[in-house]
Amino acid sequence: MKTFEELFEILKNKFNEEEDISTHKEGNEDVILIAAPKINLVATFLKNEPELNFDSLILLTGVDDENGEKTTNEDGSFDLSGGTLSVYYHLESTSLKHKLILKTSVPRENPVCPSVALVWRGSDWHEREAYDLIGIIFDGHPNLSRILMPYDWEFGHPLRKDYKNPEFYNGMKVPY
Amino acid sequence: MNQVFDLPNFLLILLYAVVPLLFIIPFALMAVFFERKISAWIQNRIGPNRTGYWGLLQTTADILKLMQKEDIVASGADKKLFLLAPMLVFMGSYAAYAALPFSSIYIGTNINLGVLYMVAISGFVVAGIIFAGWASDNKYSIMGSMRSASQLISYEIPTLFVIISIFAVTQELNLKDISEMQTANILNWGIFGYAGLGFKRILLIPALFVLMIILFISTLAETNRTPFDLPEAESELVAGFHTEYSGMKFALFFLSEYANMFAVSALVASLFLGGYQSPFGYLGDLLNLPWLVPLEQVFWFLLKGLLLVGVQMWMRWSLPRLRIDQLMKVCWKYLIPIGFVCFIYITIIMYV
Amino acid sequence: MTNIIESKLKTDEMVLNMGPQHPSTHGVLRVELKLDGEKIVKADSHIGYLHRCFEKHCEAMTYPQIIPYVDRMDYLAAMSNELGYVLAVEKLLKIEIPERVEYIRVIMAEFQRIASHLVALGTFGLDTGAFTPFLYTFRDREKILTLFELTCGARLLYNYIWVGGVSHDLHPDFIRLAKEFIEYFRPKVVELNELLTYNKIFIERTANIGVLPPELAINYGVSGPSLRGSGVKWDIRREDPYSIYDMFEFDIPVGEGLAGTTGDCWDRYYVRILEMEQSLRILEQALDQIPEGDVSAAVPKRVKPIDGISYARVENPKGELGYFIISKGGLQPFRVKVRPPSFVNLSVFSEIAKGHMVADVVAILGSLDIVLGEIDR
């Protein structure tokens, strides 16, 4: 059982570049920010280090941060450009009983993030869902395909804040 | 065939042939009704109770509905075989009734290989089921019919072991003669070693008892009833070989299942439970009314058959289903060796 | 000899689509099976047929408005769903909950656990071909639903647990009826055991089938009875107590491989039976200790949490149900993400179904106890 500060110290000492890893407080929760390219290394370390032993990924969440430049269209909808998409990782160690939240952000224009599906296999479907609904591309995922939306859905990723419904899907009218 | 065709004789044959049909259809209707009532009693429910008094007309209403339904043939289906399959299945079940002795004066055809005939004719059912599965052009149907074929063929072997064991004891393959041997006395029934064998009977009883259990289990498997209802395993194969059937064709499958249930129960009853014989003498003999005896025999025959059908229903609503490999294991690893040992044991007792 | 046969017979794998309409995929799941005869070479599950954009809806609704939608995720355990969501919002709001409300929530959640397990056990029996246990369990579940109806007027989707409180106080007869139910239900568990659990055919069908090793289960994030069936003593009620679960005495049953290997279908099934008994224990304690009080004192007029994130999790009947809420200070959440236990539990399915037979697919799916409503959201 380790506190957040201890966990951060260990990570800090291991990955000591200043810009790659930092803490951040969001409301009541402490989050460790990690640069996207490093996430796979950090994940492998967290899982395999005996004193950390994060053996379970509880949840992987993709978020559209809506922090880019907003251009409003005539009909009230808007487009976003720039800004970031984020991924939250909720980790837990079932043997040592400590928890940790990691966060990483990727640019909206090129949302590529290394996959952790080979570290925690449970993240397989979570990553597919984040890809499907937010559009984050997980590099190295064994089977990155749509999961909740139809396989032939080609109108974007619905949980993005600037998502617009298509008029027709396979000849069926979508807005009702 | 040295008989010359003459009309009265033909009508007589037709009359003989129609009698089982007159039994099968009302029986199937009532059996379906009671299956639902019994399942309701077992499961804390009331069961059908709206159509007619106590829900008695429920199945009649269902049949009327089935007759009105559109006769759907899937476009990918092989139409000829698709049409032939339910008829073949029903024919197989119906033909089995020819050898059943309902009483000492009524039996469809008194052929001397009656038991073997019944086993052989059930081959029609296998063919019908395979036709149905193949012609439906549906993967679930094919899997159901493949399961059914392997199951029916496997379970004929323990059935035959039982039959040759009975043959070793009674030296008869005619169901009527076997029934006659088990006189109107419960202690002379097949399960208690048949009449007229003296002290050997005591030694035979355990083997015969085991054989009856084997026969009952394998007949359950041959009629595709739980726990052997894999061909139509609802939770796996939707409805198995009759997934694509609707309307009257489906009703024929249904009818033949229930007809079959009674036929195999009657076979068990004829071989082991005295057939049409009363367990304790006849009222007709007592009152000196000879015409009453055959009627009483029909009553006892139906009673025994229906009781066994009831046991089949009871089992269906209490047991889970086996898996295909376990089904085969039960047959090849348990029933066949045990049946074989019983056969050897009986032949040693009888002929050494 | 075998070589000759093999060279002459050309065999091929058959693709069988099980679902989305199939009697025993527990909803609209499609399992794509590659079969070699009856053996499974590969099993892929395809989900999304019940996707109704829950998470997108949440971004356009106020916090209390979301509660009815939460009901519709795991529709067999709506109370537990509400509890998890409400805890996540309350974590952002930092409000104190009256003690009576906590007790009511625990009572409802435990009744819901029994009701959900009864459906799971009954349908599992149905999947293995035993029809009767299904009706027995539904008979008993009906009584629990009647208790819920007495409390909040609804039988399936309650909208009962609100942020800061519950919608109605308990009915005056509730505690008496609840205690009567506990008395009534204890022998029924024994009855179910006799009818199904120790049935030889049932054990043959489920023991040593779909064995889920504990390491694999943890790596996949499997939770709930499916994880405990593998012998891992992990229960959120004990590991990360929420509400007032730390006040009650109860055991955490784990699979021990009594019928076969630890972590097989039978173990997952049996853990549920044992868990129902533990739920009865919690209920007895809670019903005895419940204090008087006002149930809507802490319900806020306007739910407007601070900026921040919160993750709250509860031990749903199916496993760990988590809600991850990102608030940007408005009346509506910025993002709501659900961790549905069935979603994670189902992802392990294709791993453990390999090499089994078609009939086992049904048994494994039944033992994982999935509800498509929360998988697809």
The two most distant CA atoms of chain A are separated, in Å, by 57
Question: Closest by alpha carbon to C269, among C137, C170, C92, C78?
Answer: C137
- Taken as a whole, chain B contains a residue count of 352
Q: What residues of chain C, 193 to 232, have a C-beta less than 8 Å from chain B? A: 195-196, 199, 201-202, 204-205
Which chain C residue is nearest to residue A160, measuring alpha carbons? C56
Q: Is C56 on the interface with A (CB under 8 A)?
A: yes
Categorise residue A87: left if φ over 0, alpha if ψ from -120 to 50, beta otherwise.
beta
Cα-based distances in Å from B193 to A158, B100, B189, B215, C170 = 78, 21, 6, 16, 69
Q: Which residue has the higher pLDDT, C181 or B18?
A: C181
To the nearest whole Å, the CA of B317 is away from the closest chain C CA by 6
What's the pTM value of the predicted model, to 2 decimals?
0.86
Chain C contact present for A146, CB below 8 A: yes
Q: Does C191 touch chain B (CB under 8 A)?
A: no
Q: d(Cα C197, Cα C186) in Å, to the nearest integer?
A: 15
Backbone conformation region of residue B196, classed left if phi is above 0, alpha if psi is from -120 to 50, else beta:
left
In chain C, the residue whose alpha carbon lies closest to the alpha carbon of B239 is C23
The shortest CB-CB distance from B324 to any of C135, C139, C359 is to C359
C51 lies within 8 A of chain A by CB: yes
Q: How far is CA C206 from CA B133, B244, B275, C145, in A?
A: 28, 30, 40, 29
How is residue B124 written in tokens?
Answer: 């029609």
What size, in residues, is chain A?
A: 176
Interface residue of B39, B235, B314 to substitute, partner C, most C CBs within 10 Å:
B235
Please tell me which residue of chain C has the smallest CA distance to A148: C48
Is chain A in touch with chain B: ≥3 Cβ pairs within 8 A? no
* A88–C324 C-beta distance less than 8 A: yes
Minimal Cα–Cα distance from B218 to chain C, Å?
16
Q: Does C360 touch chain B (CB under 8 A)?
A: yes
C105 and C81 Cβ atoms separated by less than 8 Å: no
Choose the mutation target among A53, A56, A119, A146 for the interface with C, i.e. most C CBs under 10 Å: A56
Q: Which residue of A has its CA nearest to C215?
A: A55
Is the distance from CB of C268 to CB of C231 less than 8 angstroms?
no
More confident residue, B115 or B17: B115
List C residues 338-367 in contact with A (Cβ-Cβ < 8 A): 339, 343-344, 347-348, 351
The tokens of C97 are what? 């909950």
The residue type of A32 is: I
Which chain C residue is nearest to residue A122, measuring alpha carbons? C220
What's the confidence (pLDDT) of residue B277? 79
Q: How many whole angstroms separate alpha carbon A165 and alpha carbon C137?
A: 44
Q: Which residue of B has its CA nearest to C19?
A: B238
Structure-token pair, residue A104: 């990483």
For residue B351, with 0-12 CB atoms within 10 Å meaning exposed, 13-18 middle and 19 or more buried, which class applies? exposed
Chain C positions in Cβ-Cβ contact with residue B317 (cut-off 8 Å): 131-132
Nearest CA among B160, B155, B96 for reference residue B124: B96
Two structure tokens written together for B58: 């429920």
Contact between C245 and C237 (Cβ < 8 Å): yes
- CB of C252 within 8 Å of a chain A CB? The answer is no
Which pair of structure tokens corresponds to residue A87? Answer: 């991924």
The C-alpha atoms of residue A123 and residue A43 are separated, in whole angstroms, by: 12
Question: Which chains would you list as touching A if contact means 3+ CB atom pairs under 8 Å?
Answer: C
ipTM of this complex prediction, to 2 decimal places: 0.87
User: Is A58 in CB contact (< 8 Å) with chain C?
Assistant: yes
Q: Are residues A56 and C48, on separate chains, in Cβ contact within 8 Å?
A: no
Task: Check residue B4 and give its pLDDT.
Answer: 60
Angle, alpha carbons B16-B18-B20 (nearest 5°): 90
Can you tell me the distance from the alpha carbon of A46 to that of A36, in angstroms, rounded to the nearest whole number? Answer: 15
Q: Report chain A residues whose CB lies below 8 A from the CB of C309.
A: 26-27, 29, 31, 88, 101
Please state, in angstroms and rounded to a whole number, the distance separating the CA atoms of residues B98 and B94: 8
pLDDT at A18: 63
Question: Please, which chains are in contact with C (at least 3 CB pairs closer than 8 A)?
Answer: A, B
Q: A97 and chain C: CB distance < 8 Å anywhere?
A: yes
DSSP state of A156: -
With a CB cutoff of 8 Å and minimum separation 6, the contacts of A38 are A15, A20, A21
Of A27, A148, A150, the CB nearest to C310: A27
Asked whether the beta carbons of residue B323 and residue C136 sit closer than 8 angstroms, the reply is: no
The amino acid at residue C22 is H
| Interchain contact C142–B (C-beta under 8 A) | no
Tell me whether residues A148 and C377 touch, CB distance under 8 A.
yes
Minimal Cβ distance to C232: which of A57, A94, A148:
A94
DSSP state string for C279-306 = HHHHHHHHHHHPPP--SSTT--SS--PP
**Interaxial angle between packed helices C99-127 and C174-192, expressed in degrees from 0 to 180 and rounded to the nearest 10:** 30
Beta pairing, strands A137-139 & A112-114:
parallel
3-state secondary structure of A107: strand
**Residue pair C222/C345 in contact by the 8 Å Cβ criterion:** yes
**Residue C74 DSSP symbol:** S
CB-CB contact of C270 with C197 (8 Å): yes
Q: Amino acid identity, residue B154? A: S
User: pLDDT band at B1, cuts 50/70/90?
Assistant: very low
- Measured from the Cβ of residue C277, the count of other Cβ atoms closer than 10 Å reads 15
CB contact under 8 A, A158 and C56: yes
3-state secondary structure chain B: CCCCCCHHHHHHHHHHHHHHHHHHHHHHHHHHHHHHHHHHHHCCCCCCCCCCHHHCCHHHHHHHHHHHCCCCCCCCCCHHHHHHHHHHHHHHHHHHHHHCECCCCCECCCCCCHHHHHHHHHHHHHHHHHHHHHHHCCHHHHHHHHHHHHHHHHHHHHHHHHHHHHHHHHCCCCHHHHHHHCCCEHHHCHHHCCCCCCCHHHHHHHHHHHHHHHHHHHHHHHCCCCCCCHHHCHHHHCCHHHCCCCHHHHHHHHHHHHHHHHHHHHHHHHHHCCCCCCEEECHHHHHCCCCHHHHHHHHHHHHHHHHHHHHHHHHHCCCCCCCHHHHHHHHHHHHHHHHHHHHHHHHHHHHC
Residues of chain C with pLDDT under 70: 1-10
Q: Read off the amino acid at residue C258.
A: L
Q: Strand A99-107 vs strand A29-34: parallel, antiparallel, or unpaired?
A: parallel
**Strand, helix or coil at C166?**
strand
Answer yes or no: is pLDDT of B108 > 80.
no
Euclidean distance between the first and the last CA atom of chain A, given in angstroms as a whole number? 52
* A96 has a chain C CB within 8 A of its CB: no
- Please name the residue that has the structure tokens 């049946």: B339
Q: What is the pLDDT of residues B184-238, one digit of tens each?
A: 677 777 777 776 667 777 778 888 888 888 888 888 888 877 788 777 766 677 7
* B39 contacts on C by Cβ (under 8 Å): 131-132
Q: How far apart are CA A87 and CA A130, in angstroms?
A: 8
| Residue given tokens 């025959």 in the structure block | B301
Question: Taking the mean position of all CA atoms in its chain, how far away is CA A176?
Answer: 32
Which amino acid is located at B307 in the chain?
A: L
C129, C135, C362 member nearest B226 (Cβ): C129
Phi-psi region for residue B136, left (φ > 0), alpha (ψ -120 to 50) or beta?
Answer: alpha
Residues of chain A with pLDDT under 50: none
Using the Cβ of C16 and the Cβ atoms of chain B, whether some distance falls under 8 Å is answered with yes
Q: Note whether C111 and C151 are within 8 A (CB).
A: no
The whole-angstrom distance between B37's CA and the closest CA on chain C is 13
Task: Please answer yes or no on whether C195 and B318 come within 8 Å at the CB atom.
Answer: yes
Chain B interface includes C124 (CB < 8 A): no
pLDDT digits (tens, 9 = 90+) for C103-124: 998 999 999 999 999 999 988 8
Provide the shortest C-alpha distance from residue B162 to chain C (in Å): 24
Continuous segment of H or E residues that includes residue A113 = strand A112-114
Cα–Cα dist B111/B117, whole Å: 9
Dihedral, B133, B137, B143, B145 alpha carbons, nearest 10:
0
Residue of C22, C135, C204 lying closest to B43 (CB–CB): C135
Nearest CA to A123 out of A140, A110, A135 is that of: A140
Give me the residue spans of the domains in chain A. 4-173
| Chain B residue with minimum CA distance to C197 | B320
pLDDT digits (tens, 9 = 90+) for C123-157: 888 888 888 888 899 989 999 999 999 888 888 88
Burial (CB < 10 A; 0-12, 13-18, 19+), residue A168, is exposed
Q: Which CATH architecture has domain A4-173?
A: 2-Layer Sandwich (3.30)
The CA distance from C19 to the nearest CA of chain A, in Å, is: 16
Q: Which of C299, C318, C295 is nearest to C174 (CA)?
A: C295
B229 reaches C (C-beta below 8 A):
yes
